[in-house]
Amino acid sequence: MEVKRAASAGFCFGVKRAIELALQARAENTGRIFTLGPLIHNPQVVRLLAEKGIEVIQDLAAAAEGTLVIRSHGVEPEVLAAAQELGLKVVDATCPFVKRAQELARDLTEQGYTVVVVGDREHPEVRGIVGWTGGRAQVVEGPEEAARLPLLPRVGVIAQTTQPLDNFEAVVAVLRRRLVKEGEAPSELRVFSTICHATAERQQAARELAAQVDVMVVVGGYDSANTRKLAAICRESGTPTYHIETADQLKSEWFAGARVAGLTAGASTPDWIIEEVERRMKELAENAQEEMQMADFRTL
């Protein structure tokens, strides 16, 4: 069986950078190093970081001294202020693409715009962006919510970096329709697509690969929203799809009779896990092949 990897899979630029900055902080500091919540949604990587002394805390109150590494999702300005007040050293690993969305949100608010963020209101990245507007931004998950928004005359729209482009465009279309309707706000609409292409590229590569193979394996944390989304996209193609975190979860029966298997991974999955999975898939496929040949032999 041949194993084909998606053209774009695994660590994105922002996640890779956040891990490198955390490891660099560890190498350069002797005190405690911690992140507020897990640095990435991959339990195997979080465990490795913990072995190196990079801890996960849930509340800044648990940190009296040391270095706080800000995750790639970014944080509200209040968190940075609280860290400063506590005398913590801060290493800001906010992904530059998220930073751009935060800065736009802040600047638009200062210029008198109502900021509309298209995204998941519970996601830490979105909570962070809203924080940069002093809590004034409106969050919408899709066009239906955009149609119900109470709007001020001047509106600036931005996106959570991992938003699907079509959802963002659907929200903008609703706001534009409201713009041309007489008397209905907004009367000025500024649109900033802050979507990061790493997500779209991985999703497109997964979609294309799933359409060509007999079975798909998606690797990444069960808590990782972007990995779950990749698995959903692969399933939509009708190809049997399995979402796993590690190689030991693979089962040989998944590959029985398969000629080509596809492999992709979420943005928080490191290369070493992807490689391990690829090796194990090949081994299991060989075993499945041998078992089939033996079964044929017995029936002779």
Residues with active-site annotation: 125
Q: Which stretch binds ligand F3S (CB under 6 A): 93-101, 111-119, 151-159, 247-255?
A: 93-101
Among 267, 273, 274, 288, binds ligand F3S (CB under 6 A): 267
Instruction: Compute the least distance from the CB of residue 162 to ligand F3S, in Å.
Output: 6
What is the sign, positive or negative, of the torsion defined by CA atoms of 100, 197, 193, 226?
Answer: negative
Q: Which helix (H) or strand (E) holds 56?
A: strand 54-57
What 3-state class would DSSP assign to 92? strand
Does 93 help bind ligand F3S (rule: CB under 6 A)? no
Burial (CB count within 10 angstroms: exposed 0-12, middle 13-18, buried 19+), residue 14: buried
Q: Which stretch binds ligand F3S (CB under 6 A): 81-89, 129-137, 144-152, 191-199?
A: 191-199
Q: Which stretch binds ligand F3S (CB under 6 A): 167-175, 196-204, 237-245, 269-277?
A: 196-204
Q: How far apart are CA 94 and CA 71, in angstroms?
A: 6
Give CA torsion, residues 101, 136, 125, 74, to 10 deg: 70
33 neighbors 60 (Cβ within 8 angstroms): no
Among 6, 36, 69, 98, binds ligand F3S (CB under 6 A): 98
Instruction: Compute the least distance from the CB of residue 14 to ligand F3S, in Å.
Output: 2
250 neighbors 276 (Cβ within 8 angstroms): no
Among 70, 80, 95, 172, binds ligand F3S (CB under 6 A): 95
Q: Which stretch binds ligand F3S (CB under 6 A): 24-32, 103-111, 184-192, 195-203?
A: 195-203
Binding pattern for the stretch 6-45 against ligand F3S, x by CB under 6 A and - elsewhere: ------xxxx------------------------------
Nearest to 219 by CA among 251, 192, 239, 242: 242
Binding pattern for the stretch 54-73 against ligand F3S, x by CB under 6 A and - elsewhere: ------------------x-
Instruction: Compute the least distance from the CB of residue 175 to ligand F3S, in Å.
Output: 23
Cβ-Cβ contacts under 8 Å for 198 (sequence gap 6 or more): 8, 12, 13, 14, 267
Instruction: Compute the least distance from the CB of residue 43 to ligand F3S, in Å.
Output: 18
The helix-helix angle for 96-110 and 13-28 (nearest 10°) equals: 100
Structure-token pair, residue 299 = 């029936």
| Cα-only R_g, the chain | 23
Tell me the sheet residues that pair with 241.
Answer: 216
Structure-token pair, residue 211 = 């359409």
Among 161, 203, 227, 269, binds ligand F3S (CB under 6 A): 161
Q: How far apart are CA 32 and CA 169, in angstroms?
A: 44
Binding pattern for the stretch 171-190 against ligand F3S, x by CB under 6 A and - elsewhere: --------------------
Q: In the complex, which residue's CB is closest to ligand F3S?
A: 14
Among 54, 93, 196, 216, binds ligand F3S (CB under 6 A): 196
What 3-state class would DSSP assign to 186? coil
Residues binding ligand F3S (CB under 6 A): 12-15, 72, 95, 97-98, 161-162, 196, 198-199, 267
